[in-house]
Amino acid sequence: MHLRADAILLSIRAHGEHGAIVRALTEEHGLQPGYVRGGRSRAMRPVLQPSNLVLGEWRARTEEQLAGLTVELTHSRAPLFGEALPAAALTWATALTASALPEGQPYPRLYGALDGVLAAIEAAPAARGWAVALVRYELLLLAELGFGLDLETCAATGATTDLGFVSPKSGIAVSRAGAVGYEERLLRLPPFLTEGGAAEWDDIVAGLRLTGHFLERDLLIGKSADVLAARARLVDRLLRAVA
Protein backbone atom coordinates (compact mmCIF):
# COMPACT_ATOMS: atom_id res chain seq x y z
CA MET A 1 0.00 0.00 0.00
CA HIS A 2 1.41 3.36 -1.06
CA LEU A 3 -0.57 6.58 -1.03
CA ARG A 4 0.56 10.16 -1.49
CA ALA A 5 -2.05 12.89 -1.15
CA ASP A 6 -2.91 16.29 0.22
CA ALA A 7 -4.78 15.93 3.50
CA ILE A 8 -6.44 17.76 6.37
CA LEU A 9 -5.19 16.60 9.76
CA LEU A 10 -8.10 15.58 11.97
CA SER A 11 -6.75 13.92 15.10
CA ILE A 12 -3.43 13.05 16.70
CA ARG A 13 -3.05 10.45 19.44
CA ALA A 14 0.16 9.60 21.27
CA HIS A 15 1.40 6.08 20.63
CA GLY A 16 4.35 4.54 22.36
CA GLU A 17 7.14 6.67 23.75
CA HIS A 18 7.70 8.98 20.80
CA GLY A 19 5.21 8.24 18.03
CA ALA A 20 1.71 9.36 17.16
CA ILE A 21 -1.27 7.85 15.36
CA VAL A 22 -2.71 10.42 13.00
CA ARG A 23 -6.06 10.44 11.21
CA ALA A 24 -6.27 12.66 8.16
CA LEU A 25 -8.88 13.33 5.49
CA THR A 26 -7.96 13.11 1.81
CA GLU A 27 -10.21 14.10 -1.07
CA GLU A 28 -10.01 10.91 -3.13
CA HIS A 29 -9.18 8.28 -0.50
CA GLY A 30 -11.25 9.43 2.46
CA LEU A 31 -10.14 9.10 6.05
CA GLN A 32 -6.67 7.59 6.33
CA PRO A 33 -4.90 6.62 9.58
CA GLY A 34 -1.13 6.38 9.88
CA TYR A 35 1.71 6.10 12.36
CA VAL A 36 4.13 9.03 12.46
CA ARG A 37 7.50 8.07 13.86
CA GLY A 38 8.73 10.80 16.19
CA GLY A 39 5.32 12.44 16.06
CA ARG A 40 5.60 13.68 19.65
CA SER A 41 8.94 15.41 19.11
CA ARG A 42 9.33 19.16 19.55
CA ALA A 43 9.83 19.60 15.83
CA MET A 44 6.67 17.70 14.89
CA ARG A 45 4.24 19.13 17.44
CA PRO A 46 3.48 22.32 15.49
CA VAL A 47 3.07 20.25 12.31
CA LEU A 48 0.74 17.65 13.80
CA GLN A 49 -2.10 19.98 14.73
CA PRO A 50 -5.73 19.31 13.82
CA SER A 51 -6.84 21.49 10.85
CA ASN A 52 -3.32 21.80 9.40
CA LEU A 53 -2.93 20.97 5.72
CA VAL A 54 -0.21 18.51 4.83
CA LEU A 55 1.15 16.45 2.00
CA GLY A 56 1.04 12.94 3.41
CA GLU A 57 2.69 9.74 2.29
CA TRP A 58 1.35 6.45 3.63
CA ARG A 59 3.27 3.19 3.22
CA ALA A 60 2.35 -0.31 4.44
CA ARG A 61 3.21 -3.83 3.38
CA THR A 62 -0.43 -4.95 3.48
CA GLU A 63 -3.83 -3.24 3.41
CA GLU A 64 -4.56 -4.50 6.94
CA GLN A 65 -1.38 -3.05 8.47
CA LEU A 66 -1.38 0.44 9.99
CA ALA A 67 0.57 2.47 7.48
CA GLY A 68 3.66 4.43 8.32
CA LEU A 69 3.02 8.08 7.59
CA THR A 70 5.33 10.95 6.77
CA VAL A 71 3.95 14.47 6.48
CA GLU A 72 5.08 17.70 4.92
CA LEU A 73 3.35 20.79 6.22
CA THR A 74 1.74 22.85 3.46
CA HIS A 75 -0.38 25.23 5.54
CA SER A 76 -0.47 25.78 9.29
CA ARG A 77 -3.42 26.91 11.38
CA ALA A 78 -1.59 26.29 14.66
CA PRO A 79 -1.55 30.02 15.67
CA LEU A 80 -5.37 29.98 15.87
CA PHE A 81 -5.18 27.59 18.82
CA GLY A 82 -4.06 30.56 20.90
CA GLU A 83 -7.56 32.08 20.60
CA ALA A 84 -10.32 30.35 22.56
CA LEU A 85 -13.25 30.59 20.14
CA PRO A 86 -11.44 29.72 16.87
CA ALA A 87 -9.60 26.93 18.71
CA ALA A 88 -12.89 25.45 19.92
CA ALA A 89 -14.34 25.61 16.40
CA LEU A 90 -11.31 23.98 14.75
CA THR A 91 -11.23 21.29 17.44
CA TRP A 92 -14.92 20.45 17.02
CA ALA A 93 -14.98 20.39 13.22
CA THR A 94 -11.98 18.08 12.99
CA ALA A 95 -12.98 15.85 15.91
CA LEU A 96 -16.48 15.41 14.50
CA THR A 97 -15.08 14.37 11.13
CA ALA A 98 -12.52 12.00 12.61
CA SER A 99 -15.12 10.33 14.79
CA ALA A 100 -17.96 10.06 12.29
CA LEU A 101 -16.35 8.96 9.05
CA PRO A 102 -15.42 5.36 8.24
CA GLU A 103 -11.88 4.77 7.03
CA GLY A 104 -10.98 4.56 3.38
CA GLN A 105 -14.27 5.74 1.87
CA PRO A 106 -14.08 8.92 -0.23
CA TYR A 107 -16.32 11.84 0.64
CA PRO A 108 -15.15 14.58 -1.74
CA ARG A 109 -18.04 16.90 -0.85
CA LEU A 110 -17.17 16.68 2.84
CA TYR A 111 -13.49 17.25 2.10
CA GLY A 112 -14.30 20.42 0.18
CA ALA A 113 -16.82 21.62 2.76
CA LEU A 114 -14.52 21.01 5.71
CA ASP A 115 -11.67 22.79 3.95
CA GLY A 116 -14.03 25.73 3.41
CA VAL A 117 -15.16 25.82 7.05
CA LEU A 118 -11.59 25.75 8.36
CA ALA A 119 -10.57 28.47 5.92
CA ALA A 120 -13.54 30.60 7.03
CA ILE A 121 -12.55 30.25 10.69
CA GLU A 122 -9.01 31.29 9.79
CA ALA A 123 -10.13 34.25 7.68
CA ALA A 124 -12.66 35.58 10.20
CA PRO A 125 -12.02 34.46 13.79
CA ALA A 126 -15.22 36.30 14.85
CA ALA A 127 -17.93 33.64 14.84
CA ARG A 128 -20.35 35.56 12.62
CA GLY A 129 -17.94 34.86 9.78
CA TRP A 130 -18.03 31.06 10.05
CA ALA A 131 -20.85 29.81 12.29
CA VAL A 132 -23.32 29.51 9.41
CA ALA A 133 -20.79 27.46 7.43
CA LEU A 134 -20.27 25.18 10.41
CA VAL A 135 -24.00 24.47 10.78
CA ARG A 136 -24.21 23.72 7.06
CA TYR A 137 -21.23 21.37 7.35
CA GLU A 138 -22.92 19.44 10.15
CA LEU A 139 -26.05 19.08 8.01
CA LEU A 140 -24.00 17.90 5.03
CA LEU A 141 -22.17 15.33 7.15
CA LEU A 142 -25.48 13.94 8.40
CA ALA A 143 -26.72 13.69 4.82
CA GLU A 144 -23.54 12.07 3.47
CA LEU A 145 -23.72 9.39 6.15
CA GLY A 146 -27.37 8.56 5.52
CA PHE A 147 -29.08 10.71 8.15
CA GLY A 148 -30.10 13.67 6.02
CA LEU A 149 -32.98 15.93 7.00
CA ASP A 150 -35.86 16.75 4.65
CA LEU A 151 -36.09 20.54 4.77
CA GLU A 152 -38.09 20.96 1.55
CA THR A 153 -41.61 19.67 2.32
CA CYS A 154 -43.90 19.99 5.34
CA ALA A 155 -44.54 16.67 7.06
CA ALA A 156 -48.03 17.76 8.12
CA THR A 157 -49.44 19.59 5.09
CA GLY A 158 -47.12 18.86 2.16
CA ALA A 159 -46.43 22.57 1.76
CA THR A 160 -43.07 23.67 0.37
CA THR A 161 -43.18 27.25 1.64
CA ASP A 162 -43.24 28.97 5.03
CA LEU A 163 -41.30 26.13 6.63
CA GLY A 164 -40.39 27.13 10.17
CA PHE A 165 -39.83 23.94 12.17
CA VAL A 166 -38.42 20.40 12.01
CA SER A 167 -39.84 17.29 13.65
CA PRO A 168 -37.28 15.96 16.15
CA LYS A 169 -38.51 12.43 15.42
CA SER A 170 -38.67 12.29 11.63
CA GLY A 171 -36.23 15.03 10.66
CA ILE A 172 -38.82 16.45 8.24
CA ALA A 173 -39.70 20.12 8.02
CA VAL A 174 -43.02 21.46 9.29
CA SER A 175 -44.67 24.64 8.04
CA ARG A 176 -45.81 27.32 10.47
CA ALA A 177 -49.40 26.48 9.68
CA GLY A 178 -48.82 22.79 10.25
CA ALA A 179 -47.03 23.46 13.54
CA VAL A 180 -49.85 25.38 15.22
CA GLY A 181 -50.28 24.04 18.74
CA TYR A 182 -47.12 21.91 18.55
CA GLU A 183 -44.43 24.57 18.34
CA GLU A 184 -42.85 23.66 21.69
CA ARG A 185 -42.41 20.03 20.61
CA LEU A 186 -40.58 20.95 17.41
CA LEU A 187 -37.11 22.24 16.56
CA ARG A 188 -36.95 25.67 14.98
CA LEU A 189 -35.76 25.78 11.37
CA PRO A 190 -33.75 28.99 10.82
CA PRO A 191 -34.33 30.70 7.47
CA PHE A 192 -30.68 30.58 6.37
CA LEU A 193 -30.91 26.79 6.01
CA THR A 194 -33.70 27.01 3.44
CA GLU A 195 -33.28 30.48 1.96
CA GLY A 196 -29.52 31.00 2.19
CA GLY A 197 -27.91 34.29 3.11
CA ALA A 198 -26.55 35.58 6.40
CA ALA A 199 -28.04 34.84 9.80
CA GLU A 200 -28.72 36.57 13.07
CA TRP A 201 -27.36 35.09 16.26
CA ASP A 202 -30.66 33.58 17.36
CA ASP A 203 -30.90 31.80 14.00
CA ILE A 204 -27.34 30.49 14.32
CA VAL A 205 -28.11 29.15 17.79
CA ALA A 206 -31.30 27.53 16.48
CA GLY A 207 -29.30 25.93 13.68
CA LEU A 208 -26.78 24.50 16.13
CA ARG A 209 -29.60 23.10 18.28
CA LEU A 210 -31.16 21.51 15.22
CA THR A 211 -28.03 19.78 13.97
CA GLY A 212 -26.91 18.93 17.49
CA HIS A 213 -30.10 16.99 18.14
CA PHE A 214 -29.62 14.72 15.15
CA LEU A 215 -25.85 14.37 15.55
CA GLU A 216 -26.36 13.17 19.12
CA ARG A 217 -29.33 10.93 18.32
CA ASP A 218 -28.23 9.30 15.08
CA LEU A 219 -24.50 9.61 14.57
CA LEU A 220 -22.41 10.20 17.67
CA ILE A 221 -23.37 7.19 19.75
CA GLY A 222 -21.32 4.76 21.79
CA LYS A 223 -17.65 5.74 21.96
CA SER A 224 -18.21 8.41 19.33
CA ALA A 225 -20.32 10.34 21.84
CA ASP A 226 -17.13 11.38 23.64
CA VAL A 227 -16.53 14.11 21.05
CA LEU A 228 -19.77 15.85 22.01
CA ALA A 229 -17.87 17.46 24.88
CA ALA A 230 -15.91 19.45 22.28
CA ARG A 231 -19.17 20.65 20.75
CA ALA A 232 -20.55 21.63 24.16
CA ARG A 233 -17.44 23.76 24.79
CA LEU A 234 -17.83 25.46 21.43
CA VAL A 235 -21.53 26.22 21.90
CA ASP A 236 -20.86 27.54 25.42
CA ARG A 237 -18.17 29.89 24.10
CA LEU A 238 -20.44 31.05 21.28
CA LEU A 239 -23.25 31.83 23.71
CA ARG A 240 -20.90 33.76 25.98
CA ALA A 241 -19.52 35.67 23.01
CA VAL A 242 -22.95 36.92 21.99
CA ALA A 243 -24.39 37.43 25.48
DSSP of 42-85: TTTTTTS-TT-EEEEEEE-SSSSSPPEEEEEEEE--GGGGGSHH
- Into how many domains does the chain fold? 2
Closest Cα to residue 50, out of 89, 16, 85?
89
Q: Among 76, 102, 129, which residue terminates a domain?
A: 76
Tell me the CB-side half-sphere exposure of residue 114, using CA atoms within 13 A.
31
Do 22 and 104 lie in one domain? The reply is no
Please, which residues have CB within 8 angstroms of residue 210's CB and are 6 or more apart in sequence? Answer: 135, 149, 166, 187, 188, 189, 190, 193
* Tens-level pLDDT at each residue, the chain (243 residues): 899 999 999 999 998 788 999 999 999 999 999 999 988 888 898 999 999 999 999 999 887 789 999 999 999 999 999 999 999 999 999 999 999 999 999 999 999 999 999 999 999 867 877 999 999 999 999 999 999 999 999 999 999 999 999 999 999 999 999 999 999 999 999 999 998 887 889 999 999 999 999 999 999 999 899 999 999 999 999 988 876
Q: Give yes or no for a contact between 56 and 24, defined as CB atoms under 8 angstroms apart.
A: yes
- pTM of structure: 0.94
SS3 of 98, please?
helix
Do 113 and 231 lie in one domain? The reply is yes
Q: Containing domain of residue 49, as a range?
A: 1-76
What CATH number does residue 49 fall under? 2.40.50.140
- How far apart are the C-alpha atoms of 52 and 64, rounded to whole Å? 26
Q: Among 49, 76, 103, which residue terminates a domain?
A: 76
Do 83 and 146 lie in one domain? The reply is yes
- How far apart are the C-alpha atoms of 155 and 144, rounded to whole Å? 22
Q: Is residue 117 part of a domain?
A: yes
